[in-house]
Amino acid sequence: MPFPKTADEMKSQGYVFDNDAVCRGCGEDIEWWQTPRGKKIPMNPMPRGSSEAVAHWSTCSDAPLFRKEAKA
């Protein structure tokens, strides 16, 4: 299943909005969503239903700081 394109699509696929926050890396506003499998995902802010859904790590200048190291 492709990643949802809007907040409305996210909701219809089982994603749940959690809260608004500020990225600890770059300082930009973000929205936290919970995936259908219960994991949290930071998203760039979206006016409800009208804007493209973009995972914040794809645009965050400090994204490498939050990546988990691959286990050997």
Task: Give the range of the structural domain holding residue 22, as residue numbers without chain letter.
Answer: 7-56
Report if residue 22 sits inside a domain.
Answer: yes
Asked if the structure places residue 20 within a domain, the reply is yes
Q: Is residue 24 in some structural domain?
A: yes
Question: From start to end of the chain, where are the E strands?
Answer: 16-22, 29-34, 40-43
Say if 14 falls within a structural domain: yes
Question: How many structural domains compose the chain?
Answer: 1
Question: Six-digit token pair at 15?
Answer: 């994603």
- What are the tens digits of pLDDT across the range 2-34? 888 888 899 999 999 999 999 999 999 999 999
Query: Which are the contacts of 33, defined by CB distance < 8 A and separation ≥ 6?
Result: 10, 15, 16, 17, 18, 40, 41, 42, 43
Task: State the pLDDT confidence band at 41, using cuts at 50, 70 and 90.
Answer: very high
Does residue 63 form part of some domain? no
Q: 67 lies in a domain?
A: no
Is residue 66 in a domain? no
Question: Would 65 be classed as within a structural domain?
Answer: no
Residue with tokens 């394109």: 5
Whether the pTM exceeds 0.75: the reply is: yes
CA angle 62-42-1, nearest 5°?
Answer: 120
